[in-house]
Amino acid sequence: MMSKKRSSGLLLHITSLPSKYGIGDLGPGAYRFVDFLCDAGQKFWQVLPINPVAVNTYPSPYSGLSAFAGFSSLLSPEVLYRQGLLGKNEIITERTFPEDRVDYRAAMSCKRKLLNIAFERFRRAGYNEGYFEFCKRNEKWLGEYAVFMALRNEYGPWWQKWPKGLRDNKGQDVQAARKALSKRVEREMFFQYEFDRQWKKLKEYCNGCGVSIVGDMPIYVSGESVDVWANPDVFRLYKNKMPQFVSGTPPDMFCDSGQLWGSPVYDWKYLRATRYKWWLDRVRRNLELFDMLRLDHFRGLVSYWEVPARAKTAAKGHWAQGGGRRFFNALFKHYPVERFVAEDLGHITDDVRKVIKQFDITSSRVVMFGLDGKRKGNEHWPGNYVRNCVAYTGTHDNNTAAGWFENEASDEQKERLLGSAQRKVSPARVSQEMVALAMASRAKMVIVPMQDVLGLGADGRMNVPGTLRGNWVWRVRARQLNVRCRQKLRSVTASFSRL
């Protein structure tokens, strides 16, 4: 959990790690990054959601196929080799992948072959006690996910178009399909067992080095997900399992029509009647994997923007009541509030602020947003930060600090940054100045995107909201995590008493 001392950490998604398989994973590159964090005096590693994604449509980690499962493409062939499930020659890939970008389809194709070989060897060996214990402990979500993925492979990604008995998750039909597809089901269960094992080994190493992992839990799941298929009552759906309403954000100064996210929204009346069981189970699973958890789109848990599913823009939507205080009472009755960070960015209203204040939830602040207007009354200006917050230079949805300065910042915003630095700031130094502003603040915790540590421009951006191409692909090169970078980061961390 978050220390009472001033501290800092880095934001870098698993997919962005160096790896020879075209996508970052839980292998040697992850362990070397933990060593980098430790040597640089960092106490936290924040990652994006690690759930499986629909690579053939849009690989956003915020639109997962399961709220409980892990993304099998993050599994490390090198770790499987050390377990004796792959041969030395098998983990040598002849294909050359780009160092600085993820090629999801090619990487998944390469890894899937290796994972299938590992599964066959594991299966022939008769599984093991750890596997059976994992399956028993996670029986509900694991069984649903494994059969769902087998059916998805057989009938296509949109489960609403499956044969009616399977679409409606009828017991007899699903059991018959599970029997017919038993090997595929077992394979998916093995992937999840191995993901759980590899992840927890990495987490153990992190914690042993004094590094805590901050996870990220998206508020919504994809309409393609197993969660909607297996738990239709949790969502507002028609009888044909299509959504009545979908998620989004209202029109604002940045977008006249708002943002249409398209994920099914929750039936909070049903959730309240079931004492929020689905949500509490989801949180429990996430807290098994992470030391702390960022609650994405926090305001949507209090009140949210819902849009009729047939609407073409989010402008047709309206505000609806979320879980609110009752939900948070249930949440914090089971789990300590200190393990959560609210992503309270964007359109935040008084009802959201009251919930954060009532439960004393750690909030989020972004230096980049603090340069948007006058300092007085601007909660994102570093000089105005409260102690109980996490300060970021930017998030995965923003441009990098240097990219923002070069391509987006107004003259007024540049003047505010120059004034705070009290010296001339070149584009090459913008990232350093924004990191210093965050580090110098009262915030008890600072998280800096790896791209800002490296001073990268717009080519290092992770995501551009509202666009579908070129997102979630940036990767750090191994040679960028060098001694000079590490020493420089440690020095700035020490200078602001965050070691």
Catalytic residue selected from 296, 344, 433, 452: 296
Query: Is there a domain that residue 1 lies in?
Result: no
Would you write out the chain's pLDDT as a tens digit for each of its 499 residues? 666 799 999 999 999 999 999 999 999 999 999 999 999 999 999 999 999 998 877 899 999 999 999 999 999 999 999 999 999 999 988 788 999 999 999 999 999 999 999 999 999 999 899 999 999 999 999 999 999 999 999 999 999 999 999 999 999 999 999 999 999 999 999 999 999 999 999 999 999 999 999 999 999 999 999 999 999 999 999 999 999 999 999 998 768 899 999 999 999 999 999 999 999 999 999 999 999 999 999 999 999 999 999 999 999 999 999 999 999 999 999 999 999 999 999 889 999 999 999 999 999 999 999 998 788 889 999 999 999 999 999 999 999 999 999 999 998 898 888 776 656 667 678 999 999 999 999 999 999 999 999 999 999 999 998 888 899 999 999 999 999 999 999 999 999 999 9
Residue 343 is a catalytic residue: yes
CA gap 221, 201 in Å, rounded: 27
Amino acid found at 300: G
| Tally of structural domains, the chain | 1
Query: Is there a domain that residue 138 lies in?
Result: yes
Strand pairing class (44-46; 212-217): parallel
Query: Is there a domain that residue 412 lies in?
Result: yes
Report yes or no: 90 and 114 within 8 Å, Cβ to Cβ.
Answer: yes
Query: Is there a domain that residue 2 lies in?
Result: no
> Residue 200 sits in a domain of what CATH number?
3.20.20.80
Query: Is there a domain that residue 48 lies in?
Result: yes
Task: List beta partners, residue 248.
Answer: 260, 305
pLDDT value of residue 58: 80
Query: Is there a domain that residue 379 lies in?
Result: yes
Tell me the two tokens of residue 426: 């070149």
Query: Is there a domain that residue 485 lies in?
Result: yes
Catalytic residue selected from 35, 78, 281, 397: 397
Quote the domain boundaries for residue 216.
7-496
CA gap 343, 48 in Å, rounded: 13
Report yes or no: 207 and 34 within 8 Å, Cβ to Cβ.
Answer: no
Residues in the chain: 499
Query: Is there a domain that residue 40 lies in?
Result: yes
Catalytic residue selected from 343, 344, 433, 452: 343
Tell me the two tokens of residue 2: 């978050």
Instruction: List, in sequence order, the alpha helices (H) in 156-255.
Output: 164-167, 171-180, 182-208, 226-230
